[in-house]
Structure 1
Amino acid sequence: MERMMIVYEEFHFGKEKHIAFYHPVDFSLFAHLHRSYELLYLKRGRLEITVDGRSFSMKAGDLVFVLPYEVHSYRDLGGSVCDVAVFSPDYVQEFYSQTGSHFLENPVFRMTEEQMERLGARLFYDDSNLYLTKAALYETAACVLSQSGLVYREEENRDLLHKILLFIQQHYREDLTLQDLADHLGYSRLYLSRYINQSLKLSFPDLIHEHRICQAIYLLEHTEMPVSEVAYDCGYRSLRSFNRCFKQIAGKTPREYRDVFCTSDL
């Protein structure tokens, strides 16, 4: 049985670009988080989204607004067709200041047909005019805030989670230990172990492996690197250990995964 991965994504929008668009079909995505906002519009079908352990059902016409550093995943419930925009907090600085230490009581909301006709292209397809795109995002933010309350969260905990995941992202190729993390952050090993377990339902070693395997999946899908090189590049010194961890997390061996991916891409 495949395990759910929790992955820290860092979007690189480019010097003059702060937004990225996607248009997935039959959309399912493992648990992940990032510094950016994420806005999804479900055009057709049904979808389940889980945000920080809370699950919400979506039907056609619904939107969901995911805030920075929220662990979220998607599960297709039948024929989902989506528009997705991922945008930097720098794009909506005033909104970020208001929501930075809060979460949405219910991130799923709706906009009127008139609003979607007027704003849809700016939100999910066309970023050629900075001011019109920002205006569309701010109107959408106002819409979700009018339908959902903001709940205060402990800012220190979110900041600590970000620091943990960023440290792992920067050092996952090394032989990391919990003591390395504790020394870097100035916390005790026991506190960090409990915090990671409570926040992500994972042990520290499992978190390292999941980040490594996510990177391995990317390399298997987007490069022609031999499996042995992928293993080494992702921090594994033993091909046997890499194969074992990969199958435990992804449900297939690395070679099986690449074969299936290449076949499905034809």
Structure 2
Amino acid sequence: MTTTLTKGPIPAHHTRDPSMKNYSSPRPAPRVKPEASESYKKHLGTVGAWFDQKANKSYNSPRPPGRCPSPESKMLRQDHETGHMGDLLGKSANFPSSGPREHTPVPRVKPEAHDIAEHHKGGNMSNLMHKYGKLPLSARSPPRVKPEAEETAENHKGKGMSNLLHSYGRLPLSARAPPRVKPEAEENAALDKGGRMSNLLHRYGKNQRTPRPVPRVKPEAEETAWNATGHSAQRLLQPQLPTPRRPRTSTEATWGGYSRGGTDRSDRSHRRSSTVVW
């Protein structure tokens, strides 16, 4: 495949031709003014120089000169450049080059913080590692307990749980706080203690009846209320003494005035007119 621009085959990225290894399409000439050439070279970047290993074998960027105006700073710079790790690893701890220090810095510790500074030196951790279980107990600060809370603080030390585990069932009953009951509610409070249920279970049928409130009945309904209380049924259910009977006449006692089919007309009217009083 040929084109009018290239006049040859279009190169592919996977070609094996050594001349096409660094193939790149033609680029137009850069349009850079003379006064901008320095900025142009700067903006080209230096990443290619970093990845070019053949050209960077002996590469070393220039270092800024050291700013050490005083002799002390020059000594510190020399120590930082050379270091002391080689001396510590390659020689003994008492090599000649490591003499005593010229001066010991004065500790900047306030008098009230002297104890804390001593602990921070590692004494506590050393005792914990090498004297575990052999150290005395540290002093406890006095408890900040108000007088009215001393009993509660004593129980919180484990006294209550100790008594519960080792003296279970032998402890006296704890004192109960007096009930906070208003005077007008004392009767209800007494009933709520279980007295009513106790009487109901152990004295069933022997308790006195509670007073009934006065019935609110209108005057015109008193007769109905009286019958509704059970008096009508009471007369029907309760047994009554036999009522006196009217004595029978001699004519009624004999069969003279009667016939098999019925009684005499006059006798019938007599019996019909007689009434029985109960």
TM-score by shorter chain over 0.5: no
Q: Return the TM-score normalized by structure 1.
A: 0.14
Normalized per residue, the structure richer in strand is: 1
Q: Which has the higher contact order (CA 8 A, sep 6+)?
A: 1
